[in-house]
Every structure is written in structure tokens, then in C-alpha cells.
Amino acid sequence: MQNLSKYAYKILRQLSFPRLAGSESEEKAREIIVSELRDLNLPVKEQSFSLWTFKPGKGEVTLKGKSYEAVPYGNTKPFSTEGHILYVENPDYLDNRDLNDKIILTYGRVRGEAYEKLWSKGIKGIISISQPLVGFSFSSISQRFVDEDKIIPALVVDYETGLKLKENEGSPVKMEGTTAVYKGTSVNIITEIEGSKDPDEIILVCAHYDSVAISPGATDNGGGSAIALALARYFAKRSPSRTLRFVWFSGEELGLLGSQAYVEENKESLEKIKMVINLDVAGDPIGQNSALCISEKDTVSFVSILSKEKGIPFNVKLDIYSSDSMPFALYGIPSINLARFGGKGTFYIHSHSDKLNYVSKDGLSPVFNMALNILERLDSSVVFPLERKISGELKEKIQEYFKRMQGKKVEVKW
Ligand SMILES: [Zn+2]
């Protein structure tokens, strides 16, 4: 297994560069993954889907004649706009004031319902303040709002600039950005190892290989992508009894686009998928491991017992996870989401600094080993041991999630 963690780390090294969905760098990352799969003699299928993506540009905020660096939100159009700063801690607490000439200054990303609310109030722009010490924490405008031509000029600033702007609340400020949104194409990579005994029972292993535009995405999610390849390598040489399907999704960072496209296009065969094992965020040398089960409680017990049996510490919980397993959850397909947090890599998630220097081979081992143990157990069971069901407890959380993130009202189909 040591060898496979080493292999995963080798792949992670190759993948640690910004991999914006729909861009040439996504293509470069795809070539790395596809060429590994071909070396393993595995069949490769590519699923293209269209999306709003962008050519990343520069940004700037000017206050009292002084300019501060900023990063435009993804999916904005070039803009230059002026307005007065209004600090809004939480858009839910906005009164019915006219916000026509206001530039909203707020902590963190604005999306979903909050974004829609600000749009309807006719604001001039949004300035998002990043958390302290990370530099710029990247954000993008949702696909839906681009579709509806509701693009608000929006920038991300670092924490210090945010403080300065807040101290000058009410002052006029100028925002400029040169990012240019366009309709592009992105690709999911799919391979499969057919089951020798129960080929119609599918276990789907997935990881998103795109990153946010400014980040090398070493932990998010070069780590998970590399681990998925190491797992494919392990099983390619064996003959699993159930079908193992591996998918590297793109467009996750722009709103779970690859997994949504996958679920939409494969509706008839979804019922064959017994379980999704999603790998998103791994590589921190120091950290804690998490298994979030969007499932019935039996899966929580299963993962928890296995983690103790193998001595790989995992915090196991029945809960949702903001990742590619969510579109599957809408159809009642359960998932186990494995991740590792706690080091510098994940501290800097979605910024310039989620980079190779902060990940290690040992940081990949727990997630890799746990995924491998789960897969071997599930595959060697005479009868598939876990319910293909999601606990009713999570129903509301799942619907709430889509509303908050995408401003979309969804109904779970179970
Ligand atoms: Zn991720």
C-alpha cells in the first residue's frame, strides 16, 4: 500500500497547478489522468458538458486616491463602477432601504439566495472580504445568475483591505475588474472495471479534478484525484466482483457542474449505483480525517467499525458534504465522503497557497487506505451490505443546501 500512496503523491505533484474548469489548464490536467488510465489499460470515456467559465483578469479597488489589489469573482464581465461602501454583515438583516448607489462590503462569498436578494435591490457591486492570513479567497458567480444575466460587478479583497474599507464605510469607492465570462466546455473522465460476479451492482468512486481559478488546488482536490487514480491502479490488476466505476468530475468549484451533468445524462442507470465513495480534500501531513455519510445509519456504523478495525482514525458522521456527492443525494444514492483537514494546505483552501509545499505522501495515506478498505469490504461481501437509502434526517439539509449555494429550489426524488 506504501507504493500506492507513493504513486498517488507522484500524481499529485503533477496535478498541482490551477485547473479552472473549461480552461486549457483543465485540459492539461485531464491529459495527465487519461494517460495514466491508458497505461493501466483501462477504457476511458469522456463526458463533455457546457458551462459558463471565464478568462481570469485583474481587479482593483480605489479608495481616496489609493489603489488596492483585488481579484474579480469568476464569471464576471469587465467592469468599472463607483458607489458608496455599505458594510453588510448578513444580507438577511437588510432593511427595505434603497441600495441603488451602494457597493456592498461583506465577509466571505455571496451566493445563492443572498446574491439574488442583493441583485433585486439594485446594488452597484459586491466586495467580499477574505478570511485573515490567506490572501484572496476565491469566489465565483453561479451559473444560474449568468444564465439570467444577473451579473453583479464583484471583487474579493484580502482581510487587511477589507478592514480599511470598513473603516471608511459611507465613502465613495471605485471597483474595476477585467475578468471575462464565456460559454465553454468542460469534461468528466470516466473509467470502469467490470465486476466478475455482480456486474450490475456499481460502486462509484469519484473526485473532482478542477480547482478554483487562482489556486494550485493541491489538497482541493489534487489529493482526492490522485487517490482515485491509485485506487483504479490497485483494482485494475485484480478482478472485483462488483463493477467499480471511477469518475473524475470537473466544474465542481463552479457549482458541482460535472456531477450534475453526469447525473442528468445517466438517469436510467443510476439505480445500479449502490454507493458513491467521494474523495474531496486530502494531503495535509498533519490533520484529522473525516467521513461524512450521506446515507442511512448502517453506513455510519460500517465506516466507524472499519476505521477502528484498521486503526485509521476517522470522525464518522451522518451529514451532508459540499461536494459532488450532493447531486447523487437528490436521487437517493448514498455516499461516503472522505476528507482530511487541519494543515496549511486546507487552511489555504481556495487561495493561491493551497500548494504542493504543504502536502505530503503521508498526508494522502489515511484517505487512500480508508477508501481502499471500504471498497474491498463492499466488493467482497456476498450480499451488498449497506442500504441504498438516505436517512430522512438529511432530507431538509440537502434541499436547504441547494437553496443556499445555488439559489435553487430542488425537491429530493425519494
Ligand atoms: Zn473540493
Distance 324 CA to ligand 1 centre (A): 8
Distance 17 CA to ligand 1 centre (A): 14
Distance 265 CA to ligand 1 centre (A): 22
Instruction: Give the pLDDT confidence score for residue 15 in this predicted structure.
Output: 98
Distance 281 CA to ligand 1 centre (A): 6
Distance 310 CA to ligand 1 centre (A): 26
Do 2-54+183-406 and 57-178 show the same overall fold? no
- Ordered by start, the domain boundaries in the chain are 2-54+183-406, 57-178
Instruction: Give the pLDDT confidence score for residue 18 in this predicted structure.
Output: 98
Instruction: Give the pLDDT confidence score for residue 1 in this predicted structure.
Output: 73
Length of the chain: 414
Distance 213 CA to ligand 1 centre (A): 13
Distance 252 CA to ligand 1 centre (A): 7
Distance 208 CA to ligand 1 centre (A): 7
Rounded Cα distance, 248 and 322, in Å: 16
Provide the residue-wise pLDDT of the chain in tens; the chain has 414 residues: 779 999 999 999 999 999 999 999 999 999 999 999 999 999 999 999 999 999 999 999 999 999 999 999 999 999 999 999 999 999 888 888 889 899 999 999 999 889 999 999 999 999 999 999 999 999 999 999 999 999 999 999 999 999 999 999 999 999 999 999 999 999 999 999 999 999 999 999 999 999 999 999 999 999 999 999 999 999 999 999 999 999 999 999 999 999 999 999 999 999 999 999 999 999 999 999 999 999 999 999 999 999 999 999 999 999 999 999 999 999 999 999 999 999 999 999 999 999 999 999 999 999 999 999 999 999 999 999 999 999 999 999 999 999 888 877 888 888
Distance 350 CA to ligand 1 centre (A): 9
Does the model's pTM come out above 0.85?
yes
Distance 167 CA to ligand 1 centre (A): 34
Residue 246 pairs in a beta bridge with: 191, 205
* 261, three cell numbers: 451533468
Q: Does domain 2-54+183-406 have CATH number 3.40.630.10?
A: yes
The CATH class that applies to domain 57-178 reads alpha beta
Distance 353 CA to ligand 1 centre (A): 15
Distance 239 CA to ligand 1 centre (A): 30
Rounded Cα distance, 359 and 284, in Å: 5
Residue by residue, DSSP assigns 184-237 as: EEEEEEEEEE--SSEEEEEEEEEEE----TT---IIIIIIHHHHHHHHHHHHHT
Rounded Cα distance, 337 and 394, in Å: 15
Distance 258 CA to ligand 1 centre (A): 12
HEC profile of 283-311: CCCCCEEEEEEECCHHHHHHHHHHHHHHC
pLDDT digits (tens, 9 = 90+) for 246-292: 999 999 999 999 999 999 999 999 999 999 999 999 999 999 999 99
Instruction: Give the pLDDT confidence score for residue 94 in this predicted structure.
Output: 85
Distance 323 CA to ligand 1 centre (A): 6
Give residues with Cβ within 8 angstroms of 392, minimum separation 6: none
pLDDT digits (tens, 9 = 90+) for 13-25: 999 999 999 999 9
Instruction: Give the pLDDT confidence score for residue 48 in this predicted structure.
Output: 98
